[in-house]
Amino acid sequence: MSTLRFKALAELPFRDYRRDNAIEVPAKLSELYCSNVFSEDTMKQYLTKDAFTFLLDAMNKGSKIPRNIADQVAVAMKDWAMSKGATHYTHWFQPLTGATAEKHDSFFTPLEGGKAIERFAGGMLIQQEPDASSFPNGGIRNTFEARGYTAWDPTSPAFIMGTTLCIPSIFISYTGETLDYKAPLLRALHSIDEAATSVMQYFDKSITKVTPTLGWEQEYFLIDSALYKSRPDLVLTGKTLLGHSPAKGQQLDDHYFGSIPTRVMNYMKEVEIECMKLGIPVTTRHNEVAPNQFELAPMFEEANVAVDHNSLLMDIMARIAHKHHFNVLFHEKPFAGVNGSGKHNNWSLSTDKGENLLSPGKNPKKNLQFLTYFVNTIKAVHDYADMLRAAIASASNDHRLGANEAPPAIISVFIGSQLYNVLMELEKVTEGKLSPDEKTDLKLNVVGKIPEILLDNTDRNRTSPFAFTGNKFEIRAVGSSANCAETMIVMNAIVAKQLKDFKVEVEALIESGLKKDEAIFNILREYIKDSKNIMFEGDGYSDDWAKEAEKRGLNNLRTTPEALASELDQKFVDLYADLEIFTHREVEARNEIKLEKYSTVIDIEARVLADIARNHIIPSALNYQNRLIENVKGLKEIFPDDEFRVLAKEQMSLIANISGNVSTIKLGVENLLEAKGKARDTAGSQTQAEAYCKDVIPFFETIRTAADNLEMMVDDELWPLTKYREMLFTR
């Protein structure tokens, strides 16, 4: 095994990254933009005016596409794709595995008499039937009824990857239940559009559509692929289960925003070129806090397209990494002792006139509009905090949340002290009708002041899971490997529900004789009172906050099983049913899938750790111990007793120390495997996940500590696992 480590290390000096992988970047990246996308511009070229109008309506208004038009669109897509060298097509979808899925079919169709043509018809564009029996379904589909189908989502443009035309699609069972991320996301987006547009009638009657926007920021690690392959834990679990932290980690803060290593730069350039062609508007790249950790972020986009683009990006990044002899790690905590990776989700609402509803305006009326969406969002997060917490729960994200590098598992909202003061002023608004004086005062001194406040509002609280950052909310606890849809479904669903309730309440006050503005102020005041306890401006990483949050009655769901248990609360199930996003059965099925995934991940990690500890660590330690024993025996032969005792003292103590750590590992592995066996046999997915969490996970630490001790004792030449310093500082 140690030979694998040294073979891997020996490959490094021979990589000529600079020359072999130097990437030529065109002078104007913009010229590549969308060149592999069936964009509006391309559609115009390839479609009749009629077909183009139908497709545009389907994209913007969700109207149905008649079959003959679908046929025309299919032919146009095929002609365009073939002109770009495509030979196959696929419905590209996002099943609940977390990865993207595709099944390629050829355009090639044989005809009679040995002839053949390239064919792609409307039916093939609209629907495909992948053999779906092996995707997670949480018991929704019986194995005998394994069929599912994918259906074209015209609101996200088709694109070409390699020689395949990819058609973004939803994935549903034959009985109509959703089996993917996109289908419920589209429903949630529809709900919030309805709710936000309806509230918008108070402020601007010309608005007919509100679209949520999403700007994600993707963090990742890059590890040399030879070193990656030499670590069975990285290959099998995406993270290192062992490894002593290097003498130098991130203490010097010298990686963050530092100059990007040439080899990494070449990789980034190639990723960006690919992104441009696929219409992913990446704009930002930089080093992150941990060594060999980086970040990439695009311009924000309409949420559905942004979600697709993030999934697509993760796919592209993994593939291009191989070309540069890298492996990209999206795991939330691949290395202990240095920061893990997250994926901030910046979220806002935008009207069909391009106005950002979370951006304060130029006059008091616009600011009341801003405050309406702002306060409703806070109220939604307050009332449904556990849903948001559950949306970011995963075995891998558990390592990050609350570990002083990412927000805690307590959901709180940060809005900055000045906006907080505005809300406190609003909380004082008189009940019922407002006097003319109060109205003027509100206009001039409270609502009217908001843009000025935000202009010089430099408050940035990196410790908050949900922070307002000037014109959007930033959801900061999302894991780097997550599909953004998970958070976006919850976020848009809860705000939709909240805005619907708001409208009903305001209408009731207007009925009772209040003016529109008075009614709005009255309701907002109550919302601020109700949700005040979730607003927190201090240090989210501190222990004091955990105590304070408990006093405030905020939940601190530290682990995934705890977080997922809340998903089945009647309140949440009802919300989804009301908005027609998920049926009760779908909520249960998804919850089941997530719990099972959690248990499976821990189970695999336990097996891999047991294997490495027993087959790699213990033999190497004993090997080294034998050398020491030989040495001690030799000393005893040549020296008189009293001298020998002095000379062999350190070796003897090392021999004992190695034995101690070896026994700890051996016992730890036995306990781990026993606990794992019991957990595996536990009935009920919730109870099972809890068993893995409480009974299995603690042994990881015991074994790791002993193994990491041994790493510090054993001769480097004999150590089998590639070390942290080798993985983290090779560039």
Binding site for Mg ion (CB under 5 A): 344
Binding status of residue 457 toward ligand ADP by CB under 6 A: no
Residue 480 C-beta: closest distance to Mg ion, Å:
13
What Cα–Cα distance (Å) separates residue 521 from each residue in 380, 477, 562? 17, 32, 37
Binding status of residue 348 toward ligand ADP by CB under 6 A: yes
d(CA 321, CA 591): 33
Angle value at C-alpha 478, between 134 and 579, nearest 5 degrees: 70
214 interface partner picked from Mg ion, ligand ADP, none, CB below 5 to 8 A per type:
ligand ADP
Instruction: For ligand ADP, give the closer residue by CB, 87 or 471.
Output: 471
Residue 418 C-beta: closest distance to ligand ADP, Å:
17
Nearest Cα residue to 518 out of 454, 426, 586, 593: 426
Find the residue with minimal CB distance to Mg ion.
Answer: 344
Instruction: For Mg ion, give the closer residue by CB, 344 or 366.
Output: 344
Residue 265 C-beta: closest distance to Mg ion, Å:
22
The full DSSP string for 356-416 is BTTS--SSHHHHHHHHHHHHHHHHHHHHTHHHHHHHT--TTGGGTBTTTSB--SB--EE--
d(CA 170, CA 155): 11
Binding status of residue 373 toward ligand ADP by CB under 6 A: no
Among the listed residues 356, 533, 631, 682, the single contact to ligand ADP using CB under 6 A = 356
CA torsion 520→525→529→535, rounded to 10°?
80
Among the listed residues 471, 533, 583, 702, the single contact to ligand ADP using CB under 6 A = 471
Applying CB under 6 A, the span of 231-239, 466-474, 563-571, 717-725 interacting with ligand ADP comes to 466-474
d(CA 237, CA 177): 30
Residue 647 C-beta: closest distance to Mg ion, Å:
59
Residue 297 C-beta: closest distance to ligand ADP, Å:
4
Binding status of residue 299 toward ligand ADP by CB under 6 A: yes
Instruction: For ligand ADP, give the closer residue by CB, 152 or 347.
Output: 347
Residue 280 C-beta: closest distance to ligand ADP, Å:
12
d(CA 196, CA 218): 28
Residue 217 C-beta: closest distance to ligand ADP, Å:
5
Applying CB under 6 A, the span of 80-88, 416-424, 465-473, 529-537 interacting with ligand ADP comes to 465-473
Instruction: For ligand ADP, give the closer residue by CB, 226 or 317.
Output: 317
d(CA 118, CA 77): 12
Binding status of residue 487 toward ligand ADP by CB under 6 A: no
* Cβ neighbours of residue 511 closer than 8 Å, sequence gap 6 or more: none
Applying CB under 6 A, the span of 341-349, 415-423, 571-579, 622-630 interacting with ligand ADP comes to 341-349
Amino acid code (one letter) for 99: A
Residue 477 C-beta: closest distance to Mg ion, Å:
12
Applying CB under 6 A, the span of 50-58, 403-411, 469-477, 688-696 interacting with ligand ADP comes to 469-477
d(CA 580, CA 539): 38
Binding status of residue 685 toward ligand ADP by CB under 6 A: no
Instruction: For ligand ADP, give the closer residue by CB, 356 or 682.
Output: 356
Binding status of residue 291 toward ligand ADP by CB under 6 A: no
Q: Give the count of beta carbons closer than 10 Å to the beta carbon of residue 725.
A: 16
Instruction: For ligand ADP, give the closer residue by CB, 165 or 303.
Output: 303
Residue 467 C-beta: closest distance to ligand ADP, Å:
9
Residue 489 C-beta: closest distance to ligand ADP, Å:
16
508 interface partner picked from Mg ion, ligand ADP, none, CB below 5 to 8 A per type:
none
560 interface partner picked from Mg ion, ligand ADP, none, CB below 5 to 8 A per type:
none
Q: Give the count of beta carbons closer than 10 Å to the beta carbon of residue 672.
A: 25
* Cβ neighbours of residue 98 closer than 8 Å, sequence gap 6 or more: 481, 482, 483
Instruction: For ligand ADP, give the closer residue by CB, 346 or 685.
Output: 346
Q: Give the count of beta carbons closer than 10 Å to the beta carbon of residue 643.
A: 11
Residue 472 C-beta: closest distance to ligand ADP, Å:
4
d(CA 236, CA 72): 46
Binding status of residue 346 toward ligand ADP by CB under 6 A: yes
511 contacts 388 by C-beta, under 8 angstroms: no
Residue 308 C-beta: closest distance to ligand ADP, Å:
15
Main-chain phi, psi angles of 67, to 5 degrees: -55, -45
Binding status of residue 300 toward ligand ADP by CB under 6 A: yes
* Cβ neighbours of residue 701 closer than 8 Å, sequence gap 6 or more: none
d(CA 473, CA 490): 14
* Cβ neighbours of residue 32 closer than 8 Å, sequence gap 6 or more: 26, 273, 276, 277
509 contacts 124 by C-beta, under 8 angstroms: no
Binding status of residue 469 toward ligand ADP by CB under 6 A: yes
195 contacts 499 by C-beta, under 8 angstroms: yes
472 interface partner picked from Mg ion, ligand ADP, none, CB below 5 to 8 A per type:
ligand ADP
d(CA 340, CA 679): 27
d(CA 214, CA 301): 6
Radius of gyration over every alpha carbon of the chain, rounded to an integer in angstroms? 29
Contacts with ligand ADP: how many residues (CB under 6 A)? 15
d(CA 554, CA 339): 26
Find the residue with minimal CB distance to ligand ADP.
Answer: 215
d(CA 275, CA 295): 15
Task: Determine the number of helices (DSSP H) and then strands (DSSP E) in the chain.
Answer: 28, 17
Coil, strand or helix at 544:
helix
- Interface positions, 140-199, toward ligand ADP (CB under 6 A): none
Residue 195 C-beta: closest distance to ligand ADP, Å:
18
d(CA 585, CA 149): 19
Instruction: For Mg ion, give the closer residue by CB, 106 or 284.
Output: 284
Instruction: For ligand ADP, give the closer residue by CB, 286 or 532.
Output: 286
Beta strands in 392-527 (DSSP E): 413-414, 466-468, 473-475
Binding status of residue 213 toward ligand ADP by CB under 6 A: yes
Residue 251 C-beta: closest distance to Mg ion, Å:
23
Binding status of residue 455 toward ligand ADP by CB under 6 A: no
Binding status of residue 46 toward ligand ADP by CB under 6 A: no
Binding status of residue 217 toward ligand ADP by CB under 6 A: yes
Lookup result for tokens 């679908």: 70
Instruction: For ligand ADP, give the closer residue by CB, 308 or 474.
Output: 474
Applying CB under 6 A, the span of 14-22, 173-181, 467-475, 632-640 interacting with ligand ADP comes to 467-475
Instruction: For ligand ADP, give the closer residue by CB, 173 or 339.
Output: 339
Binding status of residue 237 toward ligand ADP by CB under 6 A: no
Interface with ligand ADP (CB under 6 A)? 213-215, 217, 297, 299-300, 346-348, 356, 469, 471-472, 474
